[in-house]
Structure 1
Amino acid sequence: MPNYWKSVSFALAAMLVGSLTTGVVMSLPQSLQNEAIGQDAPPEARAVQRQNLTTADNLSTAFRNVAELMRPSVVSIKTKQKQIVRTRSRRSPQGLPPGFEDFFGGGGGQLQERESSGMGSGVIVRADGYILTNNHVIEDADELTVEFSDGRIETGTIVGTDPQSDLAVVKVNLTGLRAAMMGSSDDIRVGDWVLAIGSPFGLDQTVTAGIISGKNRVQRIIADGEGFEDFLQTDAAINPGNSGGPLVNLRGELVGINTAILSRSGGSAGIGFAIPVSLAAPVLNQIIETGEVHRGFLGAQVVDVTPESVNSFDLKVRIGGLIGGVLENQPAAKAGLQPGDVVTKLDGREIVGGTQLKNYVASRAPGSTVKMEVNRNGQMLNLQVKLGERTEEAMAMFTGFDEQFGAELVPVTPETAQQYGYTGLQSGLIVSSVRDEGIASDARLQAGDVIESADGTDLMSVPQLAKIFAQAEKSRQILRLIVRRGNQRVMLPIGFGE
């Protein structure tokens, strides 16, 4: 390699490494630029070198400008939690060995108050003192203080939390603060530069740079895997203490809230996750307005479109949210959605999978109307769904009966019938799996069976069977199922013991 290329490579590498690992990025010194551009290089090479150094210097300037712009909008959050614990006594009452007093309800030791602390980051989202952060940063906090870039320390109060999205809003009694500008996480693309700002390991106002490494990541880490996730993935260094801090684009706009890392050591391994602002903004607005979050409810089982489902159900599209089942008399059914439909757009926005569909519905307020573009056997339909409210009672309609019955059921459609080798079916519920223990197993139901009717009623949906099942259970009467298995139709009785 010629000396002048070695010089340029070294200079660019040094500058980029520095820009990715320091809080405030410095421009390449003129002396180093002169040295990097070799005098023995031909004119064309020197022109390329100057252009590359100018591009790199412009990037450095962009990093620096964004870091300076964001400093006043980023805060450190410190929490304290008080715990009441019982200390062990050296000798148990009545001469019992240590530990046996707990067995007998005794009172060895004394009650003492202990205090633990935590630290995270946050971003100012309104000039009148509202701060967005992670729920896990402030969860169970008894005391909360907020430190600003100018050194001010203020007491914070929790406005509201949403464990299902791992977001929370904190308020301080100040005005005239600089709020971060909201960007678009929908428009950001893989490969775009971003900066992560926060307080890793207690080091305030730390800035790291990287790119968007991926989108639509689901890690099942929020709310024990039951939360709403659609992470942006970045290689900008995120470490403990960064949680709740902003991820911003080179316009200085907020695109995500830094939340988690994938690491074997506990430190940054180049894989960090941020909640996209498209998911955070509706939660933020609801918490500020009402102190809590109310979510929309579709009333349908939604899964991702996968290569397996495309082949099994002969789907005509390869991305979108696949409707696996529809609850009777709920918003999806009232709007005309059917099992086997693939939702490809929501309010004009293309979606890539079931996760985006569920997140979008959950981010809308109950009573909202969502426009859906749906692919049904290759035909494009435009439907409007007026959402209900996602409550525990509403969600119980999905899980309660399946768990009690001990089998997974899917409504008959041309696609599901074809998958299980049936022709000419117009109604019924196909048994897709049976657990080892449960009512379905006791009744000798098998995967691939079709439950055609229950007590003389032709079945069209799982909620319909659940309702008939509940009535039979309440009256302690035998429930008679007509089941098709291959070319046979048999009656299976289900009894309810006293």
Structure 2
Amino acid sequence: MIPLRDFSEQIAAVVDRVAPAVLHVKALMEKRPGVASGSSVIVAPDGYALTNSHVVHGATAVEATLADGRTILADIVGDDPATDLAVLRLASSGLPHVALGDSNALRVGHLVLALGSPLGLDRTVTCGIVSALGRTLPGGRTGRVIEGVVQTDAPINPGNSGGPLVDAEGRVVGINSAAVFPAQGLGFAVPSNTATFVLSEILAHGRVRRAWLGVSAQEILVPARLARAAGVAATRGVAIREVAPGSPAAAAGIRPGDILVGAGGKPVQSILDLHRFLGHDAIGTETTVELLRAERRMTVAVRPKEMGSAA
């Protein structure tokens, strides 16, 4: 019994450290009636906090309730639907906060705690393990997917969204984002390393920068005859349906009907592969893409632009 009591005290100590930094968030929405409710976690002493984009996107006002009962207005510093993350700034300083940990250090079976306000029940704590790593989730309205998602059996319910998933040391290893209903024990959190990247991008640029190629595309199976004629082993690729005038793709000579099978020296077999290629590192960087066109294999140079400044 003593080891079990010690374990219980250790869990309680982690909660004592983390809970003061967890917020109950209410967002007044512009285009839909009512108030959206969720959670958030303060990650810096000057009042910066992380939550989910789907909690605050489109809000005209955001109110955060601290663990001590105080209510503080919060500004939306930046919102990234592609990762379902948003950064808030509370109008106060010297607030309790917790550190973002390294989600790459997680292992399946590690103990984790989920904190938040499920169904409006403030300061609720649930416990579970890391059930799986490297999951993907749809990234909202963007068509991208969120990669590296942490799956947990720690109960997550509506209202937990935006709250922290913490490890046994009290470090934030994920931002709770979704649960699958009516299934039980299927919760998902955006990994903390993604949150660290999004936070740094938003604080530096006000947004998360991504590259833009200027195509609409569709995943296809590459016909065996075409693959043999072009001398490639690819069985899947991304077919180009449209090319935007004046886009990087147009400047590179990419045409509708081309099949993209490689980019930046890596194979492209899916839209996900294409999105991975179009990260912030690709902005303004000349690289090559491999195409199949009329039974020929081609390599063309392309220089993606930053999304949003690409017109």
TM-score computed with the length of structure 1 as normaliser: 0.47
Distance 2:45 2:37 in 1: 23
The answer to whether the 8 A contact 2:136-2:145 is kept is no
The answer to whether the 8 A contact 2:47-2:91 is kept is yes
Superposition CA RMSD, Å? 3.9
How far the C-alpha of 1:232 sits from its partner, in A, is: 0.8
| Bigger relative CO (Cα 8 Å, ≥ 6 apart) | 2
How far the C-alpha of 1:115 sits from its partner, in A, is: 4.6
1:71 to 19, 28, 33: 19
1:30-179 alignment, distance < 5 Å: 33=1, 54=3, 56-81=4-29, 115-179=33-97
Q: Which residue of structure 2 lines up, in the alignment, with residue 27 of structure 1?
A: none
Distance 1:356 1:253 in 2: 31
Distance 2:286 2:98 in 1: 31
User: Mind listing any 5+ residue stretches in structure 2 that lack a counterpart?
Assistant: 220-230, 241-248, 253-260, 303-311
Percent of matched pairs sharing the same residue:
36
Q: Give the length in aligned residue pairs.
A: 271
How far the C-alpha of 1:125 sits from its partner, in A, is: 1.4
Distance 2:195 2:251 in 1: 30
SS in 1 for 2:133: strand
Higher helix share: 1
Higher strand share: 2
How far the C-alpha of 1:341 sits from its partner, in A, is: 8.5
Distance 1:341 1:354 in 2: 15
SS in 2 for 1:119: strand
Q: Which residue of structure 2 lines up, in the alignment, with residue 254 of structure 1?
A: 172
- Residues 361-418 of structure 1, C-alpha deviations (whole Å, 9 max, x = no match): 6255846xxxxxxxxxxxxxxxxxx479xxxxxxxxx9xxxxxxxxxxx735xxxxxx
Amino acid at match of 1:292: R
Change beyond 3 A, Cα 1:280–1:340? closer
SS in 2 for 1:164: coil
Change beyond 3 A, Cα 1:211–1:299? farther
Distance 1:170 1:286 in 2: 14
How far the C-alpha of 1:59 sits from its partner, in A, is: 2.7
Matched, 1:278 2:193: yes
SS in 1 for 2:14: helix
1:280-359 alignment, distance < 5 Å: 280-296=195-211, 339=262, 343=266, 358-359=275-276
Q: Which residue of structure 2 lines up, in the alignment, with residue 183 of structure 1?
A: 101
How far the C-alpha of 1:295 sits from its partner, in A, is: 2.1
**Structure with bigger gyration radius:** 1
User: Mind listing any 5+ residue stretches in structure 1 that lack a counterpart?
Assistant: 1-32, 34-52, 84-113, 304-311, 316-321, 331-337, 345-352, 368-385, 389-397, 399-409, 413-428, 431-449, 453-458, 465-498
How far the C-alpha of 1:150 sits from its partner, in A, is: 0.8
1:382-461 alignment, distance < 5 Å: 386=285, 411=291, 429=293, 450=295, 452=296, 460-461=298-299
Matched, 1:205 2:123: yes
Q: Which residue of structure 2 lines up, in the alignment, with residue 362 of structure 1?
A: 279
Distance 1:289 1:169 in 2: 12
TM-score computed with the length of structure 2 as normaliser: 0.73
Q: Which residue of structure 2 lines up, in the alignment, with residue 226 of structure 1?
A: 144
